[in-house]
Amino acid sequence: MQTTTAPARNINRRRLTAYVPHYIALLVTGTLFLAPVAYMVAASLAPANKTLAGFEVFNVSQWGLHNYAGVASSLSSDSTGHLWQFFAVSFTVTVAVVGLGLIVNSMAAYALSRLQWRGQGIILLAILMLLIVPFEAVAVPMFYLYNDARNTLWIQIVPFIGNALAIFLFYSFFSGIPRSIDEAALMDGAGPWKIFWRIIAPMSKPAYASVAILTFLTQWGSFLWPVLMISDPSLRPLPLQISVFAGQLPPAWGQVMAFGVLLVIPVIVVFLIFQRWFIEGVASSAVKG
């Protein structure tokens, strides 16, 4: 007994000590990655005069929730915009873009991968070409063309529903589903709509999850388009509002950081719940894109 366990234990111990440098590397990089987040949280809790006072921001004994109360009272009039409004705008825009985008883009991908229609090949080619047009390249002309729609909710939503990358990701996923499955359903008399909603869509949950997460991340952080189109405080999404809030004089940095914490909590919660999908979604966008 002893002769067999002793070497085994030795190997285990050797393995563990071999991991010490590994853990040190993880901890050092981990600390560097966490430091800015820790600073944001600390600054949101520290007294206003300690936000920009070096390490004093981490003095836990002085922490409190006054910045959170402050941000709620600073942003509570029509001229500054109401705190709840910024959240309502960001939630509405993100949910609408993600939800409608999933429906519209997966339908298009299904039609392109499964149905026979005139112009199919050209449309597919055109969508592949649109994949390389970054939003930044069309932001300026869109600012001019849709100027009449400035300060509306719909101009923050509608332009981002149709998405070439989403169509492409759905298209690659659907193309991997054996055709025998929809042919069998066709034999049973199901039409294309029924095959799509009852068979293809339910089989493609991973694709829906990936696209939902990628769209959600981009949309929640969207900044360039709101800068160009939104000046009305009641229609400002969160990222635009935090830049406005940070630019006001005199700056209330503790409150700005409290606003930052509130802004990022919903994404972190979604991230923690759907972590596996986040990571697979990001990875799949690269493998296929």
Partner 1 sequence: MATPAVLLLIAFVAVPFLAAIGFSLYNVRLGDPRDPNFMGVEQYARIFTDPNISAQFLSALLHNLIFAAIVVPVQTALALGLALLVKKTIPGVGIFRSLYFLPVVFPIALVAIIWRLILARGDQGLLNSALAFFSGGAFGAQDWLGSETTALASVIVLSIWQGCGFQMVILLAALQQVPSELYEAAELDRAGPWQRFIHVTIPGIRTTLVFVALYTMILSLRVFDQIYVLAKSGGGLNEGATRTVMYEAVTAAFDQNNIGRASAISVVFFVIVVILSLIQRRATRNQEG
Query: What is the C-alpha to C-alpha distance for residues 26 and 175, in angstroms, rounded to an integer?
Result: 40
Distances (CA, A) of 6 to 1, 9, 11, 15, 19: 9, 5, 9, 14, 20
Touching partner 1, residues 246-285 (CB under 8 A): 246-249, 251, 253, 256-257, 260, 263-264, 267-268, 271-272, 275, 278-279, 282-283
Give the residue, chosen from 6, 11, 52, 273, that forms a contact with partner 1 under the rule CB under 8 A.
52
Give the residue, chosen from 75, 97, 98, 161, that forms a contact with partner 1 under the rule CB under 8 A.
161
> Binding string, 85-124, against partner 1, x = CB under 8 A?
-------------------xx-xx-xxx--x-------x-
Q: Helix 83-114 crosses helix 253-273 at what angle (to 10 degrees)? A: 30
Give the residue, chosen from 136, 178, 188, 191, that forms a contact with partner 1 under the rule CB under 8 A.
136
Encoded tokens for 87: 């959240």
Q: Is 63 helix (H, G, I), strand (E, B) or coil?
A: coil
**What is the total count of residues that contact partner 1 (CB under 8 A)?**
91
Query: What is the C-alpha to C-alpha distance for residues 39 and 69, in angstroms, rounded to an integer?
Result: 19
Query: What is the C-alpha to C-alpha distance for residues 155 and 79, in angstroms, rounded to an integer?
Result: 22
| C-beta closer to partner 1: residue 11 or 268 | 268
Instruction: Please name every residue paired with 82 in a beta bridge, in sequence order, or none if there are none.
Output: 76
Touching partner 1, residues 166-185 (CB under 8 A): 167
What are the start-end ranges of the H helices in 19-82? 20-45, 66-74
| C-beta closer to partner 1: residue 6 or 194 | 194
CB of residue 246 to partner 1, shortest distance in Å: 4
Query: What is the C-alpha to C-alpha distance for residues 289 and 287, in angstroms, rounded to an integer?
Result: 6
Nearby residues of 128 by Cβ (< 8 Å), 6 or more positions away:
164, 168
Touching partner 1, residues 138-157 (CB under 8 A): 138-145, 147
Q: Is 205 helix (H, G, I), strand (E, B) or coil?
A: helix
The span of 5-13, 30-38, 81-89, 179-187 binding partner 1 (CB under 8 A) equals 30-38
Touching partner 1, residues 54-83 (CB under 8 A): 54-55, 57
Give the residue, chosen from 89, 240, 252, 258, that forms a contact with partner 1 under the rule CB under 8 A.
240
Interface with partner 1, residue 48, by CB under 8 A = no
Helix and strand numbers (H, E) in the chain are: 16, 2
Give the residue, chosen from 7, 30, 121, 202, that forms a contact with partner 1 under the rule CB under 8 A.
30
